[in-house]
Structure 1
Amino acid sequence: MHYRTLFVFLAIALLPGCKTTSLSPSSKSTAVSSNNQGIKMYFGLSKPNGGVISQQQWFKFETGPLAQAFEGFALVDAAGYYKGSKEGSKIVTLYHATAKDMVTAKALARQYCRMFDQDSVLVVQLGVEQIQFVGKE
C-alpha cells in the first residue's frame, strides 16, 4: 500500500507543466516555485516619425491597460537603441508567467503599437532557474 501512495505522489510531482511549491529548510514562509517562466517586454518611447511618448501618455498606459493585464510586474526605465538611434524605453518583467500571460503580453504589445504608432514591442519569454521570494526571516 505504501508503494502505491509513493507512486501516486511521484507521478503527480513529475507531471510536465505542473506548478509545484516547496519550502526552504530555513524559512517556512519562503516558497520556491518551479513554474520557471517569465516575460520581459521592451516598450520604446520614441515615435517613428519623430517625437516621443510623453510621461503622461506612458502613465495612462501603465496605470490602465498594463496594470490591468497582469497581477504583478516590475517596471524599469531604460535606454535602448532601435534602427541605430538611442531612445528611452520601459522594461516590464513578470515572473511565474503562464501561457495565458504570454497571450496577454502579445495583445498588450499590439495595443501599444496601435496607440503610439510603434513599429514593434519586443516580447521575450524567459526560462528561469528558480523563482523565490525571500523574507526577513
Structure 2
Amino acid sequence: MEIATKTSLVRWVLALWFMAMAAGCSVNHAPQATTTEQPNTTQVMVMIYFGMAEHDGTPISQQRWLEFEKHELARHFEGFTLFDAKGYYQGQAEVSKVVLIIINKSQLETVKNIADSYRQQFNQHSVMVTVFNLQQWHFIKGD
C-alpha cells in the first residue's frame, strides 16, 4: 500500500473515530463529573488493521476471528476498542477489523507479536500497525 494511501486511510479512520466519540456525547444534568487525568510519558495509541480475508481471498469466519480476539487480544490487553472497517490493499477492497488500544510503550513488542501471529495464522501478506504518541488521556467518571 502506498504511503499516501496509508496516510489517507489513517486520517479517514481517525475522523470516523472522532465523529463516533462526538456522537456519543449528550447533555446530562447529573452531578459534575470528575476527571482522572493521566499525564502521559509512556503511553501510546496503537491501531492494528486486521484483514478479514486470507491472502488467497478466502474469507475469515466470524468464529475464527472471535477465537483470535479472545485468545490473543483480550488475553493481552486490559481494554481495547474494535471497529469493523472496509479498507483497500493493493487496489482491492477488503473487509477489516481495526483494534484501537492505549498501552504502555513497553507493550509494543506484544503488539508486534500478535500482528505476526495473525499474519501467520490467517495467511496474511501483512498486518498494519500504527503507533501515535499521546499527550494525555482521561477517564471521565461520575461521583
> TM-score range, shorter-chain basis?
0.7 to 0.9
Which of 105, 108, 115 is the aligned partner of 1:109?
115
Q: Give the TM-score, by structure 2 length.
A: 0.71
How many Å apart are 1:87 and its aligned residue?
Answer: 0.8
Q: Following the alignment from structure 1 to structure 2, what is the Cα–Cα distance between the partners of residues 100 and 107?
A: 13
* 2:77 match: 70
Q: Which has the higher contact order (CA 8 A, sep 6+)?
A: 2
Q: Give the TM-score, by structure 1 length.
A: 0.74
Question: 1:20-57, CA deviations, whole angstroms, 9 ceiling, x for partnerless residues?
Answer: xxxxxx75x42111225211111111211121111111
Task: Establish whether residue 127 from structure 1 lines up as the match of residue 114 from structure 2.
Answer: no
* 1:85 match: 92
**Residues 1-137 of structure 1: matches in 2 within 5 Å?**
29-35=34-40, 36-95=43-102, 97-136=103-142
Do 1:70 and 1:101's aligned partners in 2 also have CA atoms closer than 8 Å?
no
Q: Following the alignment from structure 2 to structure 1, what is the Cα–Cα distance between the partners of residues 45 and 107?
A: 9
Gaps of 5+ in 1: 1-25
Q: Following the alignment from structure 1 to structure 2, what is the Cα–Cα distance between the partners of residues 113 and 121?
A: 6
Q: Following the alignment from structure 2 to structure 1, what is the Cα–Cα distance between the partners of residues 64 and 132?
A: 28
> Which contiguous aligned blocks of 4+ residues in structure 1 show a shift greater than 6 angstroms?
none
* 2:23 match: none
Gaps of 5+ in 2: 1-31
Higher Rg of the two aligned structures: 1
